């Protein structure tokens, strides 16, 4: 169990616990207490800024450990062996994880829980540094849940198993926090989507992608710890066989943690798909709202278009409403000029639109196929043979029908 001495106030984010008579006693924040007791087990809880304050302690850690911390990597594991006295033992081992706690699109926090263990197999002494892990009030509870001293003396991987168990709880909590954020947007789907919500959804998508990344790295880190422990057993089989229970228990715990990390990764991918589905739904609802608005505008335009055309036509100089002829109005004999200008201009406009719309595919006869005019030409030949006269509206109807058949055929291909 762990006891806290209230007379010793922690400073610089350092909380030192000493193991005495199977109990963990809080020893304050003075690091010299570790050197003053070279045969005692210590656990030092530190903030991420530990090495910035205590530069002289950098050399007491494995060199690769600080490269991971300083470069803010997603996670890693390493084990450095000792080869003295015809034994192979993990003298130094460390593991690092990374997670993201999200309360909202713009409200999030990164954490980088890390564990560094130095173990002397001859004396069983362990000096453990834990970074960015738990609040001070919860650190003593973590120490209470550690394996028995005999297990930790014979196998430092028991520290990795206990540490990973708590970190995975934090991963699970972070995933549920992100799920609540996504669920909040899903509940708002009954409202008319706001276009301004898409940047927020994009930020949340970024958070879910980050979580997918870090949980996958965490799963790989746990897998490497499991494999490294198996390697140690192969290299130091005779000694480990004498204390096989202390090896098997952490091994089974690590396997369970690896499966848990895989389950969290799967659930995280599912959450990301839910979020993408929500974005697509909102996008389609916005398009639907815009489409409804455009239909309204088109309907209003159609209502006013006949009146605009009639007023424009009768407003020309081809018609005289001031005629002296009783109950009549006269039309100019040059009315054909109106048709001579309007019809070519209309056809030219349609031609420019067609070239712009199918400009890359108009190559010789293929242009007529694109426009659906192959079938249209066949229809016109049949009309000429039968001697049937078609009105302008009927010609337009035939042409658009041919084009729709072409579009429908290519859309269903």
Residue 321 in this model has a pLDDT that exceeds 80: no
Domain that holds residue 377: 366-413
- Closest Cα partner for 80 from 98, 56, 63, 104? 63
Q: Which residue has the higher pLDDT, 8 or 16?
A: 16
Distances (CA, A) of 314 to 172, 297, 319, 341: 76, 26, 6, 16
Examine the domain organization and report whether 370 and 353 are in the same domain: no
Under the banding of pLDDT at 50, 70 and 90, the label for residue 11 is low
Residue 6 in this model has a pLDDT that exceeds 50: no
Dihedral pair phi/psi, residue 143, rounded to 5°: -65, -30
Query: Which H or E run contains 77?
Result: strand 76-82
Q: What average pLDDT does this structure show over 320-335? A: 63
Model pLDDT, residue 177: 96
Examine the domain organization and report whether 201 and 340 are in the same domain: no
Quote the CA–CA distance of 246 and 370 in Å, as a whole number: 76
Answer with the one of 310, 332, 357 that is the final residue of a domain. 357
- 79 inside domain: yes
Examine the domain organization and report whether 183 and 108 are in the same domain: yes
- 308 inside domain: no
- 412 inside domain: yes
Q: Which residue has the higher pLDDT, 244 or 345?
A: 244
- pTM equals 0.71
Examine the domain organization and report whether 264 and 335 are in the same domain: no
Examine the domain organization and report whether 104 and 65 are in the same domain: yes
Examine the domain organization and report whether 408 and 259 are in the same domain: no
Under the banding of pLDDT at 50, 70 and 90, the label for residue 377 is low
Answer with the one of 332, 357, 382 that is the final residue of a domain. 357
- 408 inside domain: yes
Residue 322 in this model has a pLDDT that exceeds 70: no
Q: What average pLDDT does this structure show over 122-140? A: 92
The number of C-alpha atoms within 13 Å of 186 and in the hemisphere containing its C-beta is 14
Query: Which H or E run contains 234?
Result: helix 197-235
- 302 inside domain: no
The number of C-alpha atoms within 13 Å of 289 and in the hemisphere containing its C-beta is 10
Domain tally, the chain: 3
For residue 354, with 0-12 CB atoms within 10 Å meaning exposed, 13-18 middle and 19 or more buried, which class applies?
middle
DSSP for 265-297 reads: HHHHHHHHHHHHHHHHHHHHHHHHHHHHHHHHH
Answer with the one of 288, 307, 335 that is the final residue of a domain. 288
Quote the CA–CA distance of 148 and 158 in Å, as a whole number: 10
Spatial neighbors of 303 by CB under 8 A, at least 6 apart, are: none
Residue 405 in this model has a pLDDT that exceeds 70: no
- 217 inside domain: yes
Model pLDDT, residue 381: 54
Query: Which H or E run contains 334?
Result: none
Examine the domain organization and report whether 410 and 273 are in the same domain: no
Model pLDDT, residue 393: 44
- 296 inside domain: no
Quote the CA–CA distance of 295 and 65 in Å, as a whole number: 63
Angle between helices 244-314 and 197-235 (to 10 degrees): 160
Residue 159 in this model has a pLDDT that exceeds 60: yes
Angle ∠(325,330,334) on CA atoms, nearest 5:
150
Dihedral pair phi/psi, residue 128, rounded to 5°: -120, 130
Q: Which residue has the higher pLDDT, 377 or 223?
A: 223
Examine the domain organization and report whether 259 and 332 are in the same domain: no
Examine the domain organization and report whether 85 and 141 are in the same domain: yes
Examine the domain organization and report whether 147 and 231 are in the same domain: yes
Model pLDDT, residue 193: 58
Q: What average pLDDT does this structure show over 155-166? A: 96
Q: Which residue has the higher pLDDT, 254 or 325?
A: 254
- 197 inside domain: yes
Under the banding of pLDDT at 50, 70 and 90, the label for residue 391 is very low
Examine the domain organization and report whether 97 and 147 are in the same domain: yes
Least confidently predicted of 53-62, 250-259, 342-351, 358-367: 358-367
Examine the domain organization and report whether 261 and 346 are in the same domain: no
Least confidently predicted of 9-13, 39-43, 164-168, 266-270: 9-13
Under the banding of pLDDT at 50, 70 and 90, the label for residue 331 is low
Q: What average pLDDT does this structure show over 379-395? A: 49
Q: Which residue has the higher pLDDT, 371 or 109?
A: 109
């Amino acid at each position: 169990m762990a006891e806290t001495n209230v007379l010793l106030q922690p400073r610089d984010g350092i909380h030192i616990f000493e193991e005495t008579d199977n109990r963990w006693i809080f020893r304050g924040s003075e690091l010299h207490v570790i050197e003053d007791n070279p045969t005692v087990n210590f656990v030092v809880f530190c903030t991420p800024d530990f090495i910035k304050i205590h530069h002289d302690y950098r050399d007491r850690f494995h060199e690769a450990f600080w490269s991971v911390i300083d470069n803010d990597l997603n996670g890693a594991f390493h084990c450095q062996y000792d080869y003295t006295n015809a034994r192979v033992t993990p003298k130094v081992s460390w593991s690092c994880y990374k997670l993201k706690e999200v309360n909202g699109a713009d409200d999030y926090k990164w954490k980088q829980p890390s564990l560094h263990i130095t173990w002397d197999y001859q004396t069983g002494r362990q000096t453990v540094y834990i970074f960015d892990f738990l609040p001070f009030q919860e650190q003593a509870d973590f120490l209470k849940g550690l394996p028995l001293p005999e297990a930790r003396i014979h196998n430092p991987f028991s520290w990795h198993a206990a540490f990973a168990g708590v970190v995975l709880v934090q991963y699970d909590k972070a995933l549920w926090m992100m799920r609540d954020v996504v669920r909040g947007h899903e509940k708002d789907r009954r409202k008319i989507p706001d276009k301004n919500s898409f940047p927020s959804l994009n930020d949340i998508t970024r958070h879910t992608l980050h979580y997918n990344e870090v949980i996958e790295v965490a799963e790989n880190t746990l897998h490497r710890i499991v494999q490294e422990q198996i390697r140690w057993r192969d290299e130091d089989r005779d000694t480990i066989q004498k204390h096989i229970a202390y090896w098997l228990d952490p091994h089974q715990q690590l396997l369970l943690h690896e499966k848990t990390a895989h389950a969290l990764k799967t659930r995280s991918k599912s959450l990301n798909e839910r979020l993408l589905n929500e974005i697509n739904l909102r996008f389609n609802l916005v398009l639907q709202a815009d489409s409804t608005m455009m239909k309204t505008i088109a309907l209003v335009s159609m209502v006013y278009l006949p009146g605009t055309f009639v007023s424009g036509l009768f407003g020309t100089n081809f018609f005289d409403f001031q005629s002296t002829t009783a109950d009549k109005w006269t039309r100019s004999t040059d009315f054909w000029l109106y048709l001579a200008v309007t019809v070519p201009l209309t056809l030219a406009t349609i031609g420019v639109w067609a070239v712009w719309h199918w400009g890359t595919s108009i190559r010789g006869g293929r242009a007529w196929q694109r426009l659906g005019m192959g079938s249209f030409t066949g229809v016109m030949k049949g009309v000429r043979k039968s001697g049937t006269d078609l009105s302008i509206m009927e010609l337009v109807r035939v042409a658009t029908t041919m084009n729709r058949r072409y579009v429908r055929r290519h859309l269903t291909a």
